[in-house]
Structure 1
Amino acid sequence: MGNSTAYPVLRTDDASTAYTQARRLCALLEQEDEVWLTAELRTAGEVRRMAALLPGVTFEHSETRTDPVTGRYAGFDLDVTTADDAALKAHLPLDIIEEVAPGSVVTRFATSLGRGAAAIEWHGRWPDEPAAGHYGSPPYDGVQVVFHGDRAQQGRWTEEHTVFVHVTKFGDLPRARKLAAHIGGEVLGEPQLGW
């Protein structure tokens, strides 16, 4: 299978602008198949907001933890709806990754984020454009907005937010440039390893 090729097409310090421009790109997808949400949660309040927004979401420690006695992997097992803030703080930061239906809670997710790194991935298919030599390539096509990051794969935390277009596993720079132009952007640097 392999990974998609991700091109950064917008970088901004305004999360709302990044989300809005990513949604503009999503409107160009011929089909939207799945949406993935990921977030690093740094406060008890953020954990509670995500629990309310995504009932049943699984929380995981951001860094691997082991039981000090047995040395075995220690998963996160608190009930976030009943745990007090002090109990939650002892486990922070926490991560979530969740597949959701297209259009369901995505906008509320974007507006509920804190200062931790997060991402929204819209997997789909770009339309075929035979005259330009562009062909849709599911499961590699799509749009991604990374909040507080500049890498399509997990990377260092930044103040900025980055929008990526994913185009085939082999890359398609002309199509990426065309998509970037649609939102008044341009391809920013080298392609990256995508999803």
Structure 2
Amino acid sequence: MGNSVAYPVLRTADPAEAYEKARHLCALLATRYAQVYVGAELRTVADVRRMAGLLPDAIYDHAEIRRDPVTGAYVYFGLDVRTASDAELAAEVPLDFVREELPDGVRDEDFVRAVGAGPASVRWEGCWPDEPELGSFPSPKYDGVQLVLNSDHCEWDRGVPGVHTLYVHVTKHGDPGRAERLAAAIGGAVLGEPEQG
């Protein structure tokens, strides 16, 4: 998506509502690309097990930098999430991952249901309609919809359990008029300042 401008258009405690509104916004894209980008921070063994059942081939790593206490070298996560024991995983959490495409047979709604209390993101990209009469033009590199679970920031680096935020991404320069129209289409409003996406 590049460095788009992201406008928050909905905040809710209900992830199902946030997902439903995200899908409504996706339907408003003139073109939607097939890829769905996902990422999550997994804070418990149960979180890891749920996500590994869905995305066993994702590249999991420690959510926080770890170093060997003797050598100071970085310590990377090296376990197979499918076969590691609960005790082994408990010593490694929190873990995170980013995946650029959901595999065949995995739906974005399955991912949303699998997210635990850690921050997570689902991103759909495409192009908004051409609206020259309103001064809004599509931006294929930057347009899209993002659902951020358990966070109030589009980079989903701040965990806020139970707060789910929906963003619309528009151009790298921003388009507040389009953001307001998209927010109104889901019964929402632009909530505060735009963020860099």
Say whether the 8 Å CA contact 1:53–1:105 is kept in structure 2. Answer: no
Q: CA deviation at 1:106?
A: 0.8
Runs of 4+ in 1 over 3 A off after TM superposition: 101-104
Say whether the 8 Å CA contact 1:117–1:149 is kept in structure 2. Answer: yes
Q: CA deviation at 1:101?
A: 4.7
The AA in structure 1 aligned to 2:171 is: T
Structure 2 partner of 1:180: 183
Which blocks of at least 5 consecutive residues in structure 1 are unaligned?
A: none
Say whether the 8 Å CA contact 2:127–2:144 is kept in structure 1. Answer: yes
Change (3 A) 1:31 1:152: same
The AA in structure 2 aligned to 1:32 is: R
The AA in structure 1 aligned to 2:31 is: Q
- Alignment partner of 1:19 is 2:19: yes
TM-score by length of 1: 0.94
Structure 1 partner of 2:5: 5
Structure 1 partner of 2:192: 189
Q: CA deviation at 1:104?
A: 4.2
Instruction: Say which SS state the counterpart of residue 163 (structure 1) adopts.
Output: strand
How many residues align? The count is: 194
Structure 2 partner of 1:81: 82
Aligned-residue CA RMSD (Å): 1.6
Identity %: 54
In 1, the alpha carbon distance for the partners of 2:85 and 2:157 equals 31
The AA in structure 1 aligned to 2:16 is: S
In 2, the alpha carbon distance for the partners of 1:101 and 1:44 equals 22
TM-score by length of 2: 0.93
Matches within 5 A, 1:151-162: 151-158=153-160, 159-162=162-165
Which blocks of at least 5 consecutive residues in structure 2 are unaligned?
A: none
163, 166, 169: which is aligned to 1:163? 166
- Alignment partner of 1:52 is 2:53: yes
Matches within 5 A, 1:16-165: 16-33=16-33, 34-101=35-102, 104-158=106-160, 159-165=162-168
Instruction: Say which SS state the counterpart of residue 122 (structure 2) adopts.
Output: strand
